[in-house]
Amino acid sequence: MCFQGDKLIIAENLYNINLTGYNFTSQLHVFALDSLGQKTWEYLSPLNESWNYPYGILPSDDGGILVGLSREYLINYPNGPTDSLSLAVEEPWIMKLGADHQRTWAFQLFDEYRHPFNQTSKIIPATDGGGYIAAGFAYLKTFIPYKDGAAGLLTKFNDEGEILWSRRLFYVDTIDHEQYIYDIKPCPDGGYIMCGKVRQPVDTVDYTPTLQGWLLKTDQYGCLVPGCQGPVATEEPDHPASSELLVYPNPATDMLAVYLSGPKPAGEAFFRLIDPLGRVLQEAPAAETDATYIFTLGAWPPGRYAVQYWADGRLTAVKAWIKGL
């Protein structure tokens, strides 16, 4: 919920999941209450659109309401007229209700993979005075069976529903890493600080914790690695951009953030962290480009190291970095 002037705005979803095991229905319901608790207006989405989980809500600068929510799709088992079970999978979306309290537009934050836990968590005003920032998370399909990881999402958009930039953030610790962003706040320097959790598979040997808090800060462009916004293009390039790596900090001590840009590979892609002798110290899949990957560094001696990016069976980018004391 949020306040718009002297009105309290509440968003909820009307869901029948507690009444049935299949053929779920879900509707977005947004309404306003005055100081006496009386409803002054409401919006109810059509039943066949299946809007769900309105976790983020914010008044827009032009008198509308922004809602961070999910759109649901059903996979029925068995597939046919006698379905006995439905699996609900989600897409993270942003919707805007105009000043007339009707839907103006809606767009997807992430459209590559539907998953039960994809989520738009929160929307806040951008720190530069123009547009808005949405935070959430989404799962990505990898080339490794049953190893689908989740990425933190950070997106800037304007009142017209145009995406201005989008970031994907991974904390690389295991092959099926999962990162969830639940909250975001502006920082005095114009950047953003986010919190959530990082989840790893169950450790059946040492039984170390598999769920940890996650705190991260970016600059005003949503970059964990400075410069990830790149130059502003004024015309179409003559040829596709090649893969490039940026690292931060450098020198690094306990953690290293790697920003990967360039075309998305057609097949398997992965990172390798190598020592001065060329030995592989760590390897992790790279499911996405235009994304930031955060590596936890081992107790390696100080010195010069490198991160390699392999895609479609060949080495396509390499970046040197220094391990400090």
Predicted confidence band of residue 76 (pLDDT cuts 50, 70, 90):
confident
Buried b (16+ CB within 10 A) or exposed e, 274-286: beeeeeeebebbb
User: Residue 234's pLDDT is what?
Assistant: 40
The Cα angle at residue 270 between residues 268 and 274, in degrees rounded to 5: 150
Rg (CA), the chain: 22
User: pLDDT tens digit string along 25-60?
Assistant: 899 999 999 999 999 999 999 998 999 999 999 999
Specify the pLDDT at position 38: 97
Length in residues, the chain: 325
Mean pLDDT of 230-246: 63
Those residues whose C-beta lies under 8 Å from the C-beta of residue 222, and which sit 6 or more positions away, are 133, 154, 155, 156, 165, 166, 167, 192, 228, 229
CATH of domain 241-325: 2.60.40.1930
Q: Which of residues 131 and 178 earns the better pLDDT score?
A: 131
pLDDT for position 213: 87
In this model, does residue 218 exceed pLDDT 80? yes
Domain with CATH 2.60.40.1930 in the chain: 241-325
Average pLDDT over residues 67-75: 91
Residue 232 has pLDDT above 60, yes or no: no
At residue 24, the pLDDT reads 80
Q: Token pair of 270, please?
A: 């992965």
pLDDT value at 113 more than 50: yes
Q: What pLDDT shows up at residue 44?
A: 97
Average the pLDDT over each of 7-21, 62-76, 90-104, 119-133 and give the range with the smallest value. Answer: 7-21
- Greatest alpha-carbon pair distance for the chain in Å reads 72
- The mean-pLDDT minimum among 77-86, 115-124, 280-289 falls in 77-86
Alpha-carbon gap, residue 69 to 57, rounded angstroms: 9
C-beta of residue 88 within 8 angstroms of C-beta of residue 47: no
pLDDT band at 110 (very low <50, low <70, confident <90, very high): confident
